[in-house]
Amino acid sequence: MDMPYDKKLPFTLIFFDNNINKQYLKKCYSSADNIFEYEASIIIKENTDIEIMFNSDENYARFYMYGLETLPEMYLQEDENGIAYRYSSNEKFTLFKNGDEYYPLIPGKYQANVNINQNNYYFVIEVKPKRINDNELETIKKDIEKEFRGLGQDLIRKNIGLGFNSYNLMPEKYLYEFLVINKNFRSAMGALVDLYTKVNYRVQKKYKNVIREKSHNIDEITIKNMLTNFKNDNNIKVPYKTFNYNLLENKWIKVIIKEISEKLIHFENRLSEYKTVLEQEINSEEKYKNEPNMRAVIKEKNKVLKDIKLYYLKAKKMKNAFSIVETTNWYREIDDKVTKNVPYVMFADPRYRVLYKLYRELSRNNMNIKLDDLYSYNWKRTDKVYEMWRYIKLYKILVNMNFNIEDGWIFSQNVKNLEYTIPYLSPGTVIKLSKDNIVLHFVYDAIIPKNSKITEKDNKPLYAVGNHVRPDARIDIYVGNDKIYIGSIIIDFKYTNPRYIWNDNRYNPSDKLNNMEQLRSYAFELQSLYTYNQPENIIKQLSPINEVWAIYPKDDFYEDIKCYDNKKIALIKMCPGMKFDHIKKRLQHDIEEMMKSYEFYNGIKNT
């Protein structure tokens, strides 16, 4: 067992939190074995300014910890192995300071140690999340990983055209398998056509009894048989050649063909079920086809129905094509009992290799996901992780509201290679969605111009007359075939307690960094030249901002949604483990309000 040092430490190590609070290192261990099973000796909050003082009267005292190598060289030296350490000094040095110069430590536990005269003093430094607890942070990270995989399913549905309401009727597994077979179909068929007539075999020698006069080939077995069976001199045993197709590589081909056929049959059955459900829905909704909203719904479902029929025919044709080899004599001679050992031929012969590659891809049963390298840095900042999580969750809420994805971010890719990259959520990222006659642009971290002359209806419909121009997200809403802009919902992701976001007793209009001032600026100082496509005299009277949302981590003393400033500003609770029904309802409410307002002003214009 690793024993803690019970004597006075021959060094002093102090952590300064925001230059106010001090933590002295008091407990160390003699070994690093099982070090993370012990309580942390130093606990600090993430993204908090931290300074450290390390001092010792001993010669060659060295302090090591993760992250030191990223600090300015003037604070450090390198040991004989090239590892950075802090030398003994009476001066403090900065471990982290908010800004772009210092690398943030991800919440978690880190091993550190002090080395003096070849003695090591090991201890653990724990970095705690600042605004959410450890369990919530882990939930967020796991949830983001899950959502990233879910984005792949959405991407498949967008590319394959089966709609976004088919999750139960057409699980991702079947879509993936169909795409794998479809991608490899041409090369697989080329291999099968060649194998149809030129499959591998082994020549074997067998013997049969024939009349002596008809014997043409004899060998030593024939002669031996003649000598031992001389009484039966009319018939002799002669050799003949036969072809053995029951080879291990051909057994593998049979297994692969059966597997592919079964998967295509499953896909056909799912398509057939989906087709039946969709036809029933269309028939029941047909009586409402003259209503504007239902007309668009029925049109979209008919489009999906058409795609279903096309994919059904394609799957059936592929299944029939793969069954071509089942009609051959050699295929019927083969059993399908294979061993776990894959024969070398499956890799060496191009025909067998193509089919085995297809089999391996089907066995993988999921798409290959790659993350943009920029995630590796921002994954270390809880506020950024939390921001990404909220943006993705809001996107999923929109999809659950039956909005279909049109384009943007990951959805600008195709899935022909059955792999996709999660692009970094860079400023200005836009996901475009649609439902009925409504189009949404879900915009991430884009700067709103202050000059109305550089605005554009489709991409930058807003301009700012105030000082705040960069909300974390916004939803721009358009209607109709002409994409008439009807307004926006502004969203800011807060990483702080709601009492610091809004407090009427503390409001100071002169404080331009005040959260309240920022939210009010978004609510009342954003304008547009395109609202409702109205004349200029009416546009001047309109505010394009329906509502400003400040989304914050959970606080048990606040209700899920709290509105201020005549319902122009809403503080909305959002954290791991919550159901987001309140957000979905709020989105539905806001969009409906904007539609009503548009219809009202559109009615004025047409009278």
Q: What is the pLDDT of residues 338-347, one digit of tens each?
A: 878 889 999 9
Where does the pLDDT of residue 539 fall: very low under 50, low under 70, confident under 90, or very high at 90 and above? confident
- Cβ neighbours of residue 542 under 8 Å, at least 6 residues apart? 531, 532, 534, 601
pLDDT above 90 coverage of the chain, percent: 34
Q: What is the pLDDT of residues 189-202, one digit of tens each?
A: 999 999 988 889 88
- Cβ neighbours of residue 27 under 8 Å, at least 6 residues apart? 4, 5, 41, 123
Q: What is the pLDDT of residues 128-158, one digit of tens each?
A: 877 677 677 777 777 877 777 777 667 766 6
Residue 580 phi/psi, 5° resolution? Answer: -105, 30
Q: How far apart are CA 412 and CA 581, in angstroms?
A: 29
Residues in the chain, overall count:
607
Looking at 58-72, 220-234, 398-412, 581-595, which range is the least confident one? 220-234
Contact 234, 211 (CB under 8 A): yes
For range 460-477, the mean pLDDT: 93
Place of tokens 């600026």: 521
Q: Determine the pLDDT at residue 509.
A: 54
For range 479-485, the mean pLDDT: 89
Q: What is the pLDDT of residues 85-129, one digit of tens each?
A: 999 999 999 998 887 677 777 677 889 999 998 899 999 998 887
Where does the pLDDT of residue 178 fall: very low under 50, low under 70, confident under 90, or very high at 90 and above? confident
pLDDT above 70 coverage of the chain, percent: 84
Q: How far apart are CA 281 and CA 364, in angstroms?
A: 35
Q: How far apart are CA 544 and CA 439, in angstroms?
A: 16
Q: Is 183 helix (H, G, I), strand (E, B) or coil?
A: helix
Place of tokens 């499959």: 199
Q: Determine the pLDDT at residue 12.
A: 94
pLDDT at residue 472 above 90?
yes
Looking at 71-85, 353-367, 401-415, which range is the least confident one? 401-415
Greater pLDDT, 187 or 562: 187
Residue of 530, 545, 535 whose CA lies nearest to 457? 530
Greater pLDDT, 249 or 577: 249
On average, the pLDDT of the chain sits at 83
Place of tokens 């915009």: 443
Q: How far apart are CA 376 and CA 116, in angstroms?
A: 34
Question: Nearest-5° angle of CA 503, CA 509, CA 511?
Answer: 90
Q: What is the pLDDT of residues 281-305, one digit of tens each?
A: 888 888 777 765 677 677 777 877 8
* Two tokens, residue 212: 């002596």
Greater pLDDT, 36 or 233: 36
- Cβ neighbours of residue 565 under 8 Å, at least 6 residues apart? 520, 523
Pairing of strands 526-528, 42-45: unpaired
Where does the pLDDT of residue 418 fall: very low under 50, low under 70, confident under 90, or very high at 90 and above? low
pLDDT at residue 375 above 80?
no
The residue extents of the domains of the chain are: 12-128, 162-199+247-366, 202-244, 426-606
Q: How far apart are CA 440 and CA 577, in angstroms?
A: 27
| Residue 233 backbone class (left: φ over 0; alpha: ψ -120 to 50; beta: rest) | alpha
- Cβ neighbours of residue 414 under 8 Å, at least 6 residues apart? 159
Q: Determine the pLDDT at residue 223.
A: 67
Greater pLDDT, 73 or 218: 73
pLDDT at residue 531 above 70?
yes
Contact 182, 318 (CB under 8 A): yes
For range 510-531, the mean pLDDT: 81
Q: Determine the pLDDT at residue 511.
A: 46
Q: Determine the pLDDT at residue 408.
A: 85
Where does the pLDDT of residue 233 fall: very low under 50, low under 70, confident under 90, or very high at 90 and above? low
Q: Determine the pLDDT at residue 147.
A: 78
- Cβ neighbours of residue 92 under 8 Å, at least 6 residues apart? 16, 51, 52, 53
For range 40-69, the mean pLDDT: 90
- Cβ neighbours of residue 605 under 8 Å, at least 6 residues apart? 532, 534, 535, 538
Helices vs. strands in the chain: H and E counts, helices first: 13, 24
Where does the pLDDT of residue 512 fall: very low under 50, low under 70, confident under 90, or very high at 90 and above? very low
Q: How far apart are CA 174 and CA 187, in angstroms?
A: 21
Q: Determine the pLDDT at residue 227.
A: 65
Q: Determine the pLDDT at residue 454.
A: 92
Helix 382-400 / helix 134-160 crossing angle, nearest 10 deg: 40
Pairing of strands 84-87, 484-493: unpaired
For range 235-247, the mean pLDDT: 79
Q: Determine the pLDDT at residue 604.
A: 52
Q: How far apart are CA 106 and CA 70, in angstroms?
A: 14
